Structure 1
Amino acid sequence: MELSVLNIKGEDTGRKVTLSDAVFGLEPNEHAMYLDVKQYLANQRQGTHKSKERNEVAGSTKKIKKQKGTGGARAGSLKSPLFVGGGRVFGPKPRNYSFKLNKKLKRVARLSALSLLARDNKVALVESFSLDAPKTSEFKGILSNLQVAGKTLILLPAADKNIVLSGRNLPKVKISTASDVNTYDLLNTEKLLLVEESVNVLETLFSAK
């Protein structure tokens, strides 16, 4: 698959880059992508939810009525889950939601997501650029020149502080480095904008078995 390289003015530079079929031309594995996204979202959970059981609720443990002869069910104390203000039965407790996935499966998931974007013609290439200072308006102008709209994931070959600071306030734009790309971000975007050198980073990263 060949893509034309654009400059920051949105003009075709006349150069083309061939995307490797080993990275952008695979048959997507939906189950691998599902598992990788599931793990990513699970890792975002704090797991700090907690409700009080009957031994943790403040209150008297005095028996509220005699055991027999009242015509009603027996009751031990007001901390019983049956009463308003009592403890909760089998309530949530702090827990870790993370789980393990094999590296090979995660690699397949990322390659599947990249191939899916390429198959749907949602990948664009822009030549390397830099900003002298963090400037959101200037960065927004570049995206406008490239006719980028909607959710956009921009992959840089390496971290660039000025670019990251310029784009972090834009609600539908996410900026990351090619080496840190994850399946969730790839599937949660409408357009993948690759800075030219990031293609080599991706191909080098995923060519390693």
Structure 2
Amino acid sequence: MELAINNGKTLSVSDAVFGREFSQDLVHQVVVAYRNAGRAGTKAQKTRSEVSGTTKKSKKQKGGGARHGALTAPIFVGGGVTFAAKPRSFAQKVNRKMYRAAISAILSELNRQGRITVVENFDVDAPKTSGLVSKLKDLNVGQRPLIVTEEASESLYLSARNLPYVEVRDVQGLDPVALVGADSVVITSQAVKKIEEWLA
């Protein structure tokens, strides 16, 4: 299939990468797994055996209301937590084949919706936000564009740093969450070739 470049030319690309059928279940699974892998999983609470305090019976058995022993029990203020959270990993296993298939499915759907803009090259001369804003305005992209280049320069990263909804990625840093969250994707022709080599 052919992708149109903004200078009037076309770029021949693989149907397996940019013409794949969209699978919502696969994309959802991969996106959730990717986000879960970034979770710290460091939440910790104390059980009744870990709370600092005496386990001596606090009052007599009868005549004082609740018949209970240790004040470290969960029913008391300052006591332990019944089902205490402990540090754990939220990571989910995703096969390499599944991950690449999900990236291809997302790119294909973006292409079908006309949300991919292919450019010959994309860079800024100096690290200035105004220069990047004017370039994006000329391309007429949405509020949340994702810029993908073969090797993003430092000037491009610095120019996009003050723009809260603009993301810059090179091909190695491309991930499903960034693709799903973007209104449109601005991608260079060299980056398209690199993505094809990666997902082939």
Q: Check the 8 A contact 2:122/2:149 in 1, yes or no.
A: no
- For residues 147-174 of structure 1, what are the alpha-carbon distances to aligned partners after superposition, in whole Å with 9 as ceiling and x for unaligned? 1221111111113111111112211111
**Corresponding residue to 2:119 among 123, 126, 130:** 126
Q: Provide the rounded CA distance (Å) in 1 between the counterparts of 2:123 and 2:80.
A: 59
**Corresponding residue to 1:176 among 169, 186, 191:** 169
Where do 1:57-206 residues align within 5 Å? 57-67=51-61, 69-70=62-63, 72-206=65-199
Q: Provide the rounded CA distance (Å) in 1 between the counterparts of 2:199 and 2:80.
A: 52
Q: 1:5 is aligned with what amino acid?
A: I
Q: Tell me the TM-score normalized by structure 2.
A: 0.92
Q: Provide the rounded CA distance (Å) in 1 between the counterparts of 2:13 and 2:115.
A: 13
Q: Check the 8 A contact 1:134/1:162 in 2, yes or no.
A: yes
Q: 2:22 is aligned with what amino acid?
A: P
What's the CA shift for 1:130?
A: 2.9
Structure 1: stretches of 5+ with no match in the other structure: 7-12
> Would you identify which runs of 4 or more consecutive aligned residues in structure 1 move more than 2 Å?
1-6, 55-62, 69-74, 129-133
Q: Provide the rounded CA distance (Å) in 2 between the counterparts of 1:79 and 1:103.
A: 48
Identity %: 38
Q: Provide the rounded CA distance (Å) in 2 between the counterparts of 1:103 and 1:18.
A: 25
Q: Tell me the TM-score normalized by structure 1.
A: 0.88
Structure 2: stretches of 5+ with no match in the other structure: none
Q: 1:53 is aligned with what amino acid?
A: T
SS in 2 for 1:14: coil
Q: Provide the rounded CA distance (Å) in 2 between the counterparts of 1:4 and 1:41.
A: 32
> What is the aligned partner in structure 2 of residue 52 from structure 1?
46
Q: Which stretch of structure 1 is more off in the superposition, 166-175 or 177-186?
A: 177-186
Q: Find out whether 1:17 has 2:1 as its counterpart.
A: no
